[in-house]
Amino acid sequence: MLTSGSGFVTKDEVLTLQDQMSDDPEFDPSFSQVADFSHLTDTDVGLADVHVFAKRDAFSIHSRRAIIVTGDVAFGFAKVFELCRQLCGASGIRVFRNPEEAFNWILSSEAASASRQNESTAGSSPTA
């Protein structure tokens, strides 16, 4: 799935997108995603909003997701989102500044096998 945000992106737009995905019967939470924010110029999103986005995320913790950003603030916010999702059990999110690297990673067999490995170990308890 390819999503993008350009120009001035508002927190309400992000929340609306999340609601639309959650409500769409054709949306599969296991989809992979490339989220391209490389043309973002400004936002009213704050750090607390990033935490909210991560908690109400429509994607599975097993989904592979590449976030593309260019600016330093956007990079920081994307890394906070990645960390928040990791705290929820997600391990397949990466932040990139280069779109080609993001697409190469999302389509790579290494990333796919890591995602399958995470799915097969999810819910298993460690043995003593």
pLDDT at 128: 37
* This model's pTM is above 0.75: yes
pLDDT at 17: 96
Please name which of 98, 74, 93 lies closest in space to residue 82, comparing C-alpha atoms: 93
In sequence order, what are the residues at sequence separation of 6 or more whose Cβ sits closer than 8 angstroms to the Cβ of residue 92? 62, 63, 64, 65, 111, 114, 115, 118
Domain borders along the chain are 2-120
10-residue averages of pLDDT along the chain (128 residues)? 96 97 97 97 96 96 97 96 97 97 90 48 40
pLDDT at 111: 53
Question: Per DSSP, which regions of 1-126 are E strands?
Answer: 2-9, 33-43, 65-68, 93-96
Chain CA centroid to CA 109, Å: 19
Pick the CATH number of 2-120 from 3.30.420, 3.40.50, 2.60.40, 1.10.287: 3.40.50
pLDDT at 112: 55
Give the bridge partners for 34, in sequence order: 2, 66
Alpha-helix residue ranges (DSSP H) falling in 39-98? 47-55, 72-87
pLDDT at 123: 44
